Amino acid sequence: MIAMSLSRGHVELLQFVRDRTAVVFTFFFPALLLLLFGTIFGSESTDSGVAVSRIFTASMIAYGILNTAFVTMGSGLAMDREDGTLKRLRGTPMPATAYLIGKGLLVFALSLAEVAFLILMGVLVFDMPLPPAGHWVTFAWIFVLSVVACSLLGIAVSGLVKNARNAGAILNVPVVALQFVSGVFIHPMSQLPDWLEKVASIFPVRWMAQGFRYVFLPDEAKVTEIGGAWNLGTVAVVLGVWCVIGLVLCLVTFRWSGRDK
Judge contact between 61 and 46, C-beta under 8 A: no
Kindly tell me which residue out of 43, 93, 124, 252 binds another protein, with binding defined by CB under 8 A: 93
Q: Which DSSP helix (H) or strand (E) runs through 241?
A: helix 232-253
How many Å apart are CA 155 and CA 170, to the nearest integer? 13
Residue 19 interacts with another protein (CB under 8 A): yes or no: yes
Residue 95 binds to another protein (criterion: CB under 8 A): yes
Among 44, 47, 83, 220, binds another protein (CB under 8 A): 83
Q: Compute the least distance from the CB of residue 79 to another protein, in Å.
A: 11
CA separation for the pair 170, 82 (Å, rounded): 15
Q: How many residues bind another protein (CB under 8 A)?
A: 27
> Shortest distance, CB of residue 1 to another protein, whole angstroms?
10
With respect to another protein, which residue has the nearer C-beta, 2 or 133? Answer: 2
Among the listed residues 224, 251, 229, the one whose alpha carbon sits nearest the alpha carbon of residue 49: 224
Q: How far is the CB of 9 from another protein (least distance, A)?
A: 10
Q: How many CB atoms lie within 10 A of CB 195?
A: 8
Considering the complex, what minimum distance in angstroms separates the CB of residue 248 from another protein? 22
Q: Among 71, 89, 118, 192, which residue sits at the site for another protein (rule: CB under 8 A)?
A: 89
Question: According to CB under 8 A, which residues from 178 to 217 bind another protein?
Answer: none
Stretch that binds another protein, among 14-22, 47-55, 109-117, 185-193 (CB under 8 A): 14-22
Residue 255, interface with another protein (CB under 8 A)?
no
Q: How many degrees, rounded to 5, is the angle at CA 216 between CA 229 and CA 30?
A: 110
Q: Does 8 bind another protein (CB under 8 A)?
A: yes
The torsion defined by the Cα of 185, 115, 250 and 196, in degrees rounded to 10, comes to: -20
Q: Which is nearer to another protein, 21 or 43 (CB)?
A: 21
H-state helical runs in 19-163: 20-23, 29-41, 52-65, 72-82, 85-90, 96-126, 133-158
Tell me 132's DSSP state. P
Where do contacts with another protein occur on this chain (CB under 8 A)?
Answer: 3-4, 7-8, 10-11, 14-15, 18-19, 83-95, 98, 256-257, 260
